[in-house]
Amino acid sequence: MTGRGIDTQVRDRKEVFATRSRTRIWGEKPSPANPYLADAAICHGYDHLDLIRHCGFADVLYLLFRGELPSQDQSALLDSLMVALINPGPRHPACRAVMNTAVSKTNPAHFLPIGLSLLSGDHLGNGEVAAAMKFLLENSGGDPEAVAGDLLELAPSPEGDRRIAPGFGTRFGGIDPMAGKIVRHFSVLPGAGDALRWGARFVEAIEGHGMGWLMPGIAAAVFIDLGFSPREGGGLFQMMSAPGILAHGLELVGQPLTAMPFVENKDYVIERG
Amino acid sequence: MSSNAAEQCEALHFWDTRRNVIRTRVGGAVIGEGVVFSHGYSMLEELTGHATFFQVLVLNVTGRLPEKRLADWLEATFTCMSWPDPRIWCNGVGSYGGALRTSPVAAITAGTLAADSRLYGPGSFPLVAETIGKGLRLRQQGAPTADIVARLNRRADSPSAAVPGYARPIAAGDERIPVMDQVARNLGFTAGPHLELAIDIHDYMMAEFEEGLNLAGYLVSFLMDQNMSAKEIYRLYSLCVNSGIHACYGEAFDNPPESFLPLMCDDIEYTGHPSRKTPNHQQDKENVYVQ
């Protein structure tokens, strides 16, 4: 088609691949009786059974990613965040998607993959949390009022919601009051750090313009204060939101299709042309 | 109405007009009347049995019903983009799904997500499209190929070049391009400016870096010449690896569970912190554990 010869001779790159995978997270001691089975396991050096006996979930979650157990203050902050994020709520599109699949008799084993796939997005999901963390990391050395002032000049006013920065803006045209209450709780915890404080000052500068904290922004600030990276924060946000998504789906298992609203023909408008 | 109430009413208007109502240009079913539309076409009277699956796929992605030869070309690209080899990363996901006895839909969906990658599969297409589009703008400004490559190279400080759409994992060169080029020729297509530029860059890259055009670079350039946007191309190819994942999933499923590439404990090398004593976090919350 091109009328030109394309040299596409295929050559093996002869790259050297690892002979074994490597991890600094988890080590397993093989069973003397069967080397495919583990007799003991360590997580960053700590015996798994000892972690089960002596630590809480938030402690070991922190250990898994950060390589050390958290301080008491860090553990309390992470635990509070997990409670804050535990349920996006039945109006959140990721939950609604799972609730609709539940009444349509989808295999319940798929509820989490479905909901968490949707929670990967750049709006209220993994993508927004990671972007909010990058925004905070890049700007928190500066004056929040000045940053807000610059962004307010540039911020478009689209139809629907406004985002002055990832994690900050409007939800359904307004300031999310629950987000404000939750972040006020975090701000007085001993584990609260610079990112939460900078975010609070940034919000003071944008509140007069009808914008405020959004949950991905709060999560982003807490993740930074706990030392997580943007990639880790985005994924942890999905993981921490999983219980609510699953619960709302499972609540509707066995219910008929009619247990969820269905848009009638009169409200389904096919626009042509 | 007070001014505050009026402001609130205006702020909520956008949301109120969408609550419990769907307005769509895509189409849909008129339930009870047996009528289904896609972008103004009757699915049952005008499309089913009259248009190919790939024509309808393009219609649903772009809103435009393409001529059949373009849909046939797209179908051919799907055929050569999905090998039944579990060493290919997305296909391996299918094999692990079979090994764990997931449903086929779960395994194929998981493998499809794996191909949303910056290295290969549809996830790599947006950057390829951005690269070729930027290259063509430079060409139209009169830049020679060497300058265009220098501007597109994402690894300028390295002796090798990294231009999206060029090079591929494991092997250099791409045997699929002449095959797809022949398919295009048989269907009566001629190269447009994006593809002409892509091949100019290929010739330069081969001479300078021994790296050539890959299939993603070829097909994205071809489709940009067919007036498709980067967004449309990405969407069209969302499921392009599904066929090979099916093959790998099915074979693993039909073998005993977990028999696909089993690992002994020592097959994983632990490089983390040596064993250490676990503090009792539950009993003594006053301890500070950071060491």
Distance from CA of A32 to the nearest CA of B (A): 11
Q: Does a structural domain hold residue A20? A: no
pLDDT of residue B288: 44
Lowest mean pLDDT among A35-49, A102-116, B30-44, B241-255: B30-44
Count structural domains, chain B: 2
pLDDT of residue B220: 97
pLDDT of residue B4: 74
Q: Of the residues B191, B220, B236, which one is the last residue of a structural domain?
A: B236
**Is residue A177 within 8 angstroms of chain B, CB to CB?**
no
What is the spatial distance between Cα B166 and Cα B207, in angstroms, rounded to a whole number?
13
What is the spatial distance between Cα A86 and Cα A104, in angstroms, rounded to a whole number?
24
**Is residue B207 within 8 angstroms of chain A, CB to CB?**
no
Query: Do A30 and A117 belong together in one domain?
Result: no
* Predicted confidence (pLDDT) per residue in B213-227, tens digit: 999 999 999 999 999
Look at residue A185 and tell me whether its pLDDT is greater than 90: yes
Confidence of residue A116 (pLDDT cuts 50, 70, 90): very high
Q: Which of A121, A120, A82, A118 is nearest to A99 (CA)?
A: A118
> Are A67 and B273 an interchain contact pair (Cβ–Cβ within 8 Å)?
yes
pLDDT of residue B290: 43
Q: Which two tokens stand for residue A184?
A: 């006020």
Count structural domains, chain A: 2
Percent of chain A with pLDDT over 90: 84
**Is residue A106 within 8 angstroms of chain B, CB to CB?**
no
Section A187-204 average pLDDT:
97
Q: Residue B129's domain is classified under what CATH number?
A: 1.10.230.10
Confidence of residue B54 (pLDDT cuts 50, 70, 90): very high
Q: Does a structural domain hold residue B286? A: no
* Interface contacts (A, B; CB < 8 Å): 194
The residue of B13, B96, B278 whose CB has the most chain A CBs within 10 angstroms, and thus the best one to mutate to test that interface, is: B278
Q: Does a structural domain hold residue B151? A: yes
**Is residue A7 within 8 angstroms of chain B, CB to CB?**
yes
> Are A172 and B266 an interchain contact pair (Cβ–Cβ within 8 Å)?
no
Q: Does a structural domain hold residue A141? A: yes
Percent of chain B with pLDDT over 70: 95
Query: Do A150 and A190 belong together in one domain?
Result: yes
Query: Do B128 and B40 belong together in one domain?
Result: no
Q: Does a structural domain hold residue A261? A: no
Q: Does a structural domain hold residue A68? A: no
Look at residue A199 and tell me whether its pLDDT is greater than 60: yes
Higher pLDDT, B287 or B188: B188
- Give the pairing type, strands A163-165 and A168-169: antiparallel
Q: Does a structural domain hold residue B274? A: no
Q: Which of B15, B272, B291 sits opposite A25 (nearest CB)?
A: B272
B278: left (phi over 0), alpha (psi -120 to 50) or beta: beta
> Are A173 and B14 an interchain contact pair (Cβ–Cβ within 8 Å)?
yes
Q: Does a structural domain hold residue B289? A: no
Q: Which of B28, B174, B195 sits opposite A2 (nearest CB)?
A: B195
Q: Which domain holds residue A134?
A: 83-251
Look at residue A96 and tell me whether its pLDDT is greater than 80: yes
Q: Does a structural domain hold residue A118? A: yes
Q: Does a structural domain hold residue A100? A: yes
pLDDT of residue B272: 95
Q: Does a structural domain hold residue A266? A: no
Q: Of the residues B236, B263, B283, which one is the last residue of a structural domain?
A: B236
Section A142-170 average pLDDT:
90
Look at residue A271 and tell me whether its pLDDT is greater than 50: yes
Section B22-44 average pLDDT:
89
Confidence of residue B291 (pLDDT cuts 50, 70, 90): very low
> Are A12 and B213 an interchain contact pair (Cβ–Cβ within 8 Å)?
no
Q: Does a structural domain hold residue B100? A: no
> Are A1 and B172 an interchain contact pair (Cβ–Cβ within 8 Å)?
no
Could you tell me what percentage of chain B is helix, strand and coil, using 3-state DSSP and rounding each to the nearest 5?
Answer: 50, 5, 40
Q: Which of B264, B267, B276 sits opposite A45 (nearest CB)?
A: B276
Q: Does a structural domain hold residue A78? A: no
What stretch of H or E contains A42? Answer: strand A34-43
Q: Does a structural domain hold residue B279? A: no
Query: Do A95 and A227 belong together in one domain?
Result: yes
Q: Of the residues B216, B236, B256, which one is the last residue of a structural domain?
A: B236
Q: Which domain holds residue B157?
A: 122-236
The residue of B12, B100, B145, B270 whose CB has the most chain A CBs within 10 angstroms, and thus the best one to mutate to test that interface, is: B270
Is residue B240 a contact partner of residue B91, using CB atoms and an 8 Å limit?
A: no
pLDDT of residue A1: 61
Residues of B in contact with A172 (CB under 8 A): 12, 15
Distance from CA of A262 to the nearest CA of B (A): 9
Higher pLDDT, B157 or B25: B25
pLDDT of residue A8: 74
- Calculate the average pLDDT of chain B: 91
Query: Do A134 and A239 belong together in one domain?
Result: yes
Starting at the earlier edge strand, list the strands of the sheet with B35-38. B27-30, B35-38, B41-42
Q: Which of A10, A28, A272 sits opposite B268 (nearest CB)?
A: A28
* Predicted confidence (pLDDT) per residue in A45-87, tens digit: 999 999 999 999 999 999 999 999 999 999 999 999 999 999 9
Section A158-168 average pLDDT:
90
